[in-house]
Structure 1
Amino acid sequence: MAKQPAKQSEKKTGGLEIPLKVKALPITQGAHTFFVFVLDAKTLWSFVSISRRHDEKDEGYQRVLSNSRVDSAVKFIQSGEPIPNSILLALEGATYDADNFELEIPAGTDVGWVIDGQHRLAAAHTASEEGKDIELCVVAFVDVELTFQISQFITINREAKGVPTSLLYDLLKHLPGERKPVEIANERAAEIANSLRKKEDSVFRDRIVVISSPRRGSQLSITNFVRKVAPLVHPERGSLRVWTLKEQTGIIDNYYDGLKEAFPEQWDLSENIFFQTIGFGAIINVFEEMFSSVFAAKGRFRKSDVAEEFAKISGFDFKQWSSYGSGNKAEIQAAQDLRLDLARARALDESTPSIDLG
């Protein structure tokens, strides 16, 4: 059996052999009227067409269909979860009988085009073929120009403001039921972030934002915080997994507090590198080595211990990081700079003879 492609980019063509009548309600907003109705996924999929954008052709406006997204949504439907989001269509030649509240979609090919919701619809169609056909909410414009369809597509997928990932992390704790390890790690990291941003004496006080966009060099998004801290508190493999929430929070707080003490000039800059994506990423990337080294030597992890370790490279040039760009690769490179300087400083300490003047 041939492997299913990751994505489908070809046009999907649908049609009706005989006219289809559905009960519908008209809604008028501004200069436009559209219709709202309910239809089973199997029937809806059979007559709609999807015009997908092609890299080499100036036609279509839909994104390619991701089979992985469809498969995920199919499992969601089969588990009994609802899909309340509507499918947005543009119907061709449909007529409305106001007396009977009936919308009639004519027979023919390409009588309905999907503007938004192709992945939900494809998943519902696949689920129907596997014995679980669900009804879908449909919103349909009638006889609208292609430019109007494209405008709606752009508005929904680019201009419409989505729910921030940071807010989703903040709400994770309210979800019931069993969670996967990665979800537990994300929730724990979000709990740590929320504790630190509210803690009066924390260096993270008011520096981790949940809803608004972070100010460059002075704030972090909770999304970025969770991205880097979650692996440390992963319940199966995180280096801090054996510690309590209170202890994990204190460890992270002391780590950054020690950083502030070791690099006061850098900390006081209007654009503090430690609260930029590359800086936070690099600092957290070296956390495990720092924690292991300090804890092994001191049997504790106070901010003064962290500061003492970082003070060994007090002359470190953080300006070089600005040329690395952004992304995971840049964070790894920046972290490697720190490791190399710390390794040199430790080697120098070990090789320098001490004199007992007592």
Structure 2
Amino acid sequence: MEENRQLIEFTCVEAQQPIGSMYVGVMDHDDLEYISFADVRRLELGVDNREVEDYIGIQRELNSKRENEIGKYVNLVDATFPNSIIIAISSEYAEYDSDSNKMTIQYKDDVAKVLDGQHRIAGLRHFKKAGSKFQVIVTIYIDMELEDQAIVFSTINKEQKNVSNSLVADLFAFARSRSPQKTAHNIARALNSKDGSPFYHKIKILGTARRKDLETITQDTFVKNLIKYISKDPQSDRDFYKRNEKSGKRLPLINGSELEKLPLRNLFIEDESDLKIAQLIFNYFHAVQRKWPNAWNELQPSIILNRSTGFIALMRFFKPAYLSFELTGGIVTKDQFYSIFEGISLQDDDFNKERYVPGSTGQGQLYRDLLELSSLQQD
């Protein structure tokens, strides 16, 4: 570290994309390592009391094995990192001069957040070739909103198996504009935290320090199976609201066969209607819990009703159950939903892995059984 140094200056090329401007340049690895930090998601007790930036860290946990592997690689004679490392930084610490194409960054510790490349940066700490350079390509976003940081992160990492889909869903909660993802996420969190909810502490919400042995449904599973009744193209809906955030323009309401396919969409479109969607899901699963209290509440390895197999089948059954009341934007009560389950002859002990094999086979079988025993029409 250079004690008297105040600035890092280097040439950058500005690129304009729909998300905004980004700047591509080349930095010495030790400069980048000094100014950057990886905002790793905290999972410790008390996480809910932290600032948003602490709470919503968007990098994966640093893998020491991966760091050491890269540390060995960077000292090979033909080592190279051809892809850019992506960072986000505040204009408080960075300035771009379009006339000279120069980027100036204050030489301060931890002012640039790493969106992609933390393992490469960590590996470069092991670079040992005295007197030689290891420069890296960097892509820089200035004053990037947290929501957009999340989108960049999820776009880069969505195909990587070690990145949780629940993390991507969780990031949407901090979006300013409306979206199906944000609605579904917020409902998951609300139902998981509400005392008396059939989902109380059952959903594996990232960033919480609950008793993990009580959680049987992932946030990603909950969100996906709710969104399918809200939107056929969540990304397009999100884009619409983001483009029309200032005007307040709304998506058009739907009807007929389209509404049968997306029975919760008009509720999503209407103002302040997320509460109605949450109440519907609450009432529906309250009826499930009332009908099969042991299978829903108890944690037994052999019981599938309160796990993904049962939840996904029940969410599929939600549509014909909800549509059977022929309401337009109304709330089906707990008792009304219970009237459907009341006549189903399945008992708590029937929801076992032998009868309903975990996975799509068991989900499909349970859904068909619920349809047949309730005499509802198939979706």
The normalised TM-score by structure 2 is: 0.47
- When you count helix as a share of all residues, which structure comes out higher? 1
Superposition TM-score, scaled by structure 1 size: 0.49
Q: Flag the structure with larger Rg.
A: 1
